[in-house]
Amino acid sequence: IKEHLFRKMNKVLILINVITIQEIYYIIKVMAKKKLQDIKITLLSISETLYRFNYDYDYSILDSNDLRIDFAHNFKSNDEACMFEIEIKAKYKCKENVLTELGVLTSFIIDPYSEFIVGKNEEGFSTNIPEILEKICSISLGILRGVFFSKLKGTPLEKYPIPLIPIDAIIPQIKKE
């Protein structure tokens, strides 16, 4: 199957040991659009944009079944600097009480940037390589998780770290072609 599909595309045969049908489809689609090339991602900076802790809440009545974590995110792209930024915020809530919240902004340099961001409009941007977006979102979420873990040390919430969550559960707009 691999040989037939790659010959049909008139491209060089790539040897792949373990591959799924979805991966074959993606590789063929990318090869049909343009030559495959390496994309370099560099984490440029990490900054805390928000931190609040509710010291007035009575944590002795905290029921872990009522605890929930809400997420929000924002993407910013700077074409001139070839920079892409992700701000992810998390908010711990118990019923309607906000217990703590944290926001982290991560900035990435992507080279070549034109291979990553291929279009922009009022609603946002488009990319040919959603896997890169998924990867940098996962990195940003991991950073948020680590900063929150550090901030909550010694508080009544230290035993409730942000769990490992698939990135598409938090940022569902990341769609693979």
Polymer length in residues for the chain: 177
Q: What is the pLDDT of residues 58-115, one digit of tens each?
A: 999 999 899 999 988 888 888 888 899 999 999 999 999 999 999 999 999 888 888 8
Provide the pLDDT for residue 112.
Answer: 83
Task: Report whether the peptide linkage leading into residue 112 is cis, meaning its omega lies within 30 degrees of zero.
Answer: yes
Distance of CA 15 to the CA centre of its chain: 29
Residue 142 phi, psi dihedral angles, 5° rounding: -60, -40
Residue 25 has pLDDT above 60, yes or no: no
**How does the average pLDDT of the chain come out, rounded?**
77
Tokens 């940003």, residue located: 140
Residue 55 phi, psi dihedral angles, 5° rounding: -80, -15
Provide the pLDDT for residue 102.
Answer: 96
Question: What does the alpha-carbon distance between residue 121 and residue 100 come to, in Å, rounded to a whole number?
Answer: 34
Question: What does the alpha-carbon distance between residue 88 and residue 137 come to, in Å, rounded to a whole number?
Answer: 9
